[in-house]
Amino acid sequence: MAAVPAFDIVTIFPGFFDGPLRAGVLAKALERGLLAVRVHDLRDYTDDAYRSVDDYPFGGGVGMVMKPEPFFRAVEDIEAKHGRGWRVFLTPQGRPLTHARCGEIAAREHVLLLCGRYKGVDERVRASLVDEEISLGDFVTSGGEVAALAAVEAASRFIPGVLGDEDSAATDSFATGCLDHPHYTRPREFRGLAVPEILLSGNHGAIEKWRREQALARTREVRPDLIGEESEDDGA
């Protein structure tokens, strides 16, 4: 039997993940054994009585810098137990986490997600330990935990069996190069707002055409950067 994809998260706040891993699609996937998520406390890999993971920066400056030793020890211990993994550092300086990159992460059998905190992490971690750096976007959070959770959540959608409908991920926003089209459900009219008649027509060809047009129009309005020449030609 093939091994399921496994994610090892290294953080100083392991409790951050307790709630999210017990809710929704991700919780059901874990219960069914479709993937594994193991959370590790970085402080377990310190060697002083205070379990220190940070220190003052060489050269002066504001803030504290996370020490290299705990990260190296954590990775070495995890990989001694579970084999070499793809090591990802969550940082604002990384390349953006995209739909395509989530698919690539999901295809790997073992991924280590390293969460930084404070002003930064010793450069030797980034330069010598990690394989890839990932950012959620051009903003800064207090640590890498939010990004690590987002990466696991988004990547899990690519794993067979995680979603109830296998076609669901293929029709997500970004999967076709555009944002998703509008969705409607009952009631047919709500506070004077009616469902578009085309969706009630039963003409599946016309409905699909309308959905493609709406998706392209929404993408042009909100994320024109996503539209390439092929998408432009498609919507003509």
Mean pLDDT, rounded, for 214-236: 75
pTM of the model: 0.88
Q: Which CATH number fits domain 173-234: 1.10.10.10, 2.40.50.100, 1.10.1270.20, 2.40.10.220?
A: 1.10.1270.20
Q: How far apart are CA 173 and CA 215, in angstroms?
A: 9
Whether pLDDT at 1 is above 80: no
Mean pLDDT estimate for the chain: 93
Q: How far apart are CA 11 and CA 17, in angstroms?
A: 10
Percent above pLDDT 90 for the chain: 88
Mean pLDDT, rounded, for 91-112: 96
| Domain assignments of the chain as residue spans, ordered by start | 6-156, 173-234
Mean pLDDT, rounded, for 18-43: 97
Spatial contact of 45 and 73, defined as CB atoms under 8 Å apart: yes
Whether pLDDT at 230 is above 50: no
In CATH, which superfamily holds the domain spanning 6-156?
Answer: SPOUT methyltransferase, trefoil knot domain (3.40.1280.10)
Question: What pLDDT is stored for residue 228 in this prediction?
Answer: 67
Question: What pLDDT is stored for residue 46 in this prediction?
Answer: 98
pLDDT tens profile 195-210:
999 999 999 999 999 9
